[in-house]
């Protein structure tokens, strides 16, 4: 395992290049050294806040210690994953939000892009699915391609009261009973250690295999705990490498100076841009494997920073809207807006220095210059050239952008990216003086859903919904 040697770890370091955020490259649209220096005090205070509160469950900052405190859990997960690979043909995660986005992201990043289509001998593991919605068509179509009796279902919910996840569980439970399968044989819970509905169900059934979602770890910060580690291990991802990469980035970011701490600098760049009206943050990976990392980041950034009150109770309505984009694909759909539209965006490029393969482009069509010039190059060269060209075009147009350079994509470098983004988010929240780790804005929709479905205790909310004005038919055309 390469990550055990210092030389290899350093060769795999993810680095930040923010030249294209500065006045040297953007002119009047860029930050001066003086402007960035004006954030020194605020950045140092944010760093200290995060450091002083590391590991505090009551503040939901237990995620900071996940790279260091899970040796026994990891050993158990690896053993369980081996059993699952030997016993089951399918592995299905039932969850929503971070419980689903994390496993999807890691699977897409580190497994074959057509993993489920590979022959079993090449997959070396069960077919993998993550169900994170309650669209009935989606559930029907899943059941068309799996056999529940041959499937391990990982039900992920801290409270066991997540309506979407528990709906899925009830459907699967019914199917398993009809097939004569003991739920304990085919279901694993990831939930709270001492309370919640999944704990009650496990106790009633007589002990369903369960992993703990730690108290101090919110869903969007949970990829590096059993929520994400079990699914990753089942499909053969090196989960020790993920945690080692996270620990490495944690050490890289041990400095209080933003000029030495890439996560802190990323936070400063975004906060400084937001202060100048750049309220849209575009994440643009130039890798199909990293496509869903942008989805995962969108939840992390939006749910953490979109708040309407500060820690001291003052109204604020802060946050930056995250947008996902994929290079090269979205050069042909979104980049026109980014280069010539409003000056309200910051683009973060995720750029690979080395892809898993090169894929040579053969010579051909020699009588057509527009095509012939491609021959003799590789697809790796082409995508890297298009990445550089897009960054150049944005910079020439005065549009802020910066790049996170990834030497190559593996478990270690992915672990670095995850921890960097988590730290960046924590620093940014501290700089905005908000609670980064709650999500009160989600609750109103949940309560309204409960009321509409007649859940006990929500009669007043149902009356509130029923008291809405009648629809104006003139507004329906």
pLDDT at 113 over 80: yes
Smallest CA-to-CA distance from 168 within 194, 135, 126 is with: 135
In the predicted model, what is the mean pLDDT of residues 101-122? 97
Q: How far is CA 398 from CA 31, 34, 143, 304, in A?
A: 11, 19, 50, 29
pLDDT recorded at residue 111: 98
User: Cα(428)–Cα(432) distance, rounded to whole angstroms?
Assistant: 6
Cβ(405)–Cβ(385) under 8 Å? no
Q: Compute the mean pLDDT over every residue in the chain, rounded to the nearest whole number.
A: 97
Smallest CA-to-CA distance from 309 within 436, 445, 448, 446 is with: 436
Cβ(63)–Cβ(217) under 8 Å? yes
pLDDT at 312 over 90: yes
| Residues labelled as active-site residues | 303, 332, 446
Cis peptide before 7 (omega within 30 of 0): no
Of the chain, the percentage scoring pLDDT greater than 70 comes to: 100
pLDDT recorded at residue 41: 98
pLDDT level of residue 180 (50, 70, 90 thresholds): very high
Residues 26-45: pLDDT tens digits?
999 999 999 999 999 999 99
pLDDT recorded at residue 1: 59
Residue 130 tokens, joined: 């993550």
Count the Cβ atoms, other than its own, within 10 Å of residue 243. 25
Q: What are the b/e assignments for 62-93, b being 16+ CB within 10 Å?
A: bbbbbbeebeebbeebeebbeebbeebebbbb
Of the chain, the percentage scoring pLDDT greater than 90 comes to: 97
Count the Cβ atoms, other than its own, within 10 Å of residue 149. 16
Residue 202 tokens, joined: 């496990």
Report the alpha-carbon angle 45-242-294, nearest 5.
Answer: 70
Helices 98-110, 291-305: inter-axial angle, 10-degree rounding = 150
DSSP structure string for 417-430:
HHHHHHHHHHHHHH
Report the alpha-carbon angle 412-415-417, nearest 5.
Answer: 115
pLDDT recorded at residue 4: 81
Helices 459-466, 443-452: inter-axial angle, 10-degree rounding = 90
pLDDT at 407 over 70: yes
Smallest CA-to-CA distance from 153 within 163, 162, 144, 143 is with: 143
pLDDT at 9 over 80: yes
Smallest CA-to-CA distance from 409 within 328, 298, 288 is with: 288
User: Cα(398)–Cα(25) distance, rounded to whole angstroms?
Assistant: 8
Residues 117-132: pLDDT tens digits?
999 999 989 999 999 9
pLDDT recorded at residue 206: 85
In the predicted model, what is the mean pLDDT of residues 330-341? 98
pLDDT recorded at residue 167: 97
pLDDT recorded at residue 3: 82
pLDDT recorded at residue 374: 96
pLDDT recorded at residue 183: 96
Residues 438-448: pLDDT tens digits?
999 988 899 99
Report the alpha-carbon angle 58-63-66, nearest 5.
Answer: 130
User: Cα(262)–Cα(255) distance, rounded to whole angstroms?
Assistant: 9
Residues 191-210: pLDDT tens digits?
999 899 999 999 998 889 99
Residue 330 tokens, joined: 């979205």
In the predicted model, what is the mean pLDDT of residues 416-436? 98
Residue 19 tokens, joined: 């030249």
């Amino acid at each position: 395992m390469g990550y055990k040697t210092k030389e290899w770890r350093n060769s795999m370091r993810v680095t930040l290049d923010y030249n294209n955020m500065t006045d040297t490259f953007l002119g009047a649209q860029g930050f001066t050294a003086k402007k960035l220096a004006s954030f020194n005090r605020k950045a140092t205070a944010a760093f200290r806040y995060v450091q002083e509160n590391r590991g505090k469950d009551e503040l939901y900052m237990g995620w900071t210690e996940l790279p260091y405190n899970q040796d026994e859990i990891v050993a158990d997960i690896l053993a369980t994953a081996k059993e699952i690979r030997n016993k089951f043909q399918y592995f299905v995660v039932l969850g929503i939000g971070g419980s689903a986005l994390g496993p999807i992201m890691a699977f897409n990043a580190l497994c074959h892009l057509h993993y489920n289509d590979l022959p079993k001998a090449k997959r070396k593991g069960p077919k993998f699915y993550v169900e994170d919605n309650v669209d009935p068509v989606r559930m029907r179509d899943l059941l068309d391609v799996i056999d529940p009796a041959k499937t391990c279902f990982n039900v992920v919910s801290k409270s066991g009261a997540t309506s979407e996840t528990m709906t899925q569980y009830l459907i699967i439970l019914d199917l398993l009973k009809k097939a004569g399968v003991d739920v304990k044989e085919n279901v694993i819970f990831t939930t709270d250690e001492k309370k919640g509905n999944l704990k009650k169900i496990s106790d009633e059934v007589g002990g369903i295999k369960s992993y703990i979602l730690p108290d101090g770890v919110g869903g969007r910060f949970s990829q590096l705990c059993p929520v994400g580690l079990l699914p990753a291990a089942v499909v053969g991802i090196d989960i020790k490498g993920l945690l080692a990469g996270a620990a490495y980035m944690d050490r890289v970011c041990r400095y209080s100076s933003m000029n030495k701490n890439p996560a802190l600098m990323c936070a400063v760049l975004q906060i400084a841009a937001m202060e100048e009206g750049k309220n849209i943050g575009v994440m643009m990976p130039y890798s199909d494997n990293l496509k869903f990392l942008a989805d995962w980041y969108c939840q992390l950034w939006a749910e953490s920073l979109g708040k309407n009150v500060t820690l001291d109770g003052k109204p604020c309505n802060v946050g930056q809207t995250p947008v996902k984009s994929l290079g090269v694909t979205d050069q042909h759909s979104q980049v026109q807006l980014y280069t010539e539209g409003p000056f309200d965006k910051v683009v973060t490029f995720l750029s690979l220095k080395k892809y898993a393969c090169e894929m040579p482009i053969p010579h051909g069509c020699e009588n057509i210059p527009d095509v012939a010039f491609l021959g003799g190059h590789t697809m790796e060269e082409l995508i890297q050239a298009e990445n550089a060209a897009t960054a150049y075009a944005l910079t020439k147009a005065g549009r802020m952008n910066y790049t996170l350079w990834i030497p190559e994509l593996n478990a270690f470098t992915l672990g670095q990216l995850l921890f960097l983004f988590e730290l960046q988010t924590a620093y940014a929240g501290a700089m905005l003086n908000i609670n980064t780790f709650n999500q009160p804005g989600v609750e109103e929709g949940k309560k309204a859903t409960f009321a509409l479905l007649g859940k006990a205790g929500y009669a007043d909310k149902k009356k509130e919904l029923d008291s809405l004005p009648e629809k104006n038919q003139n507004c329906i055309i």
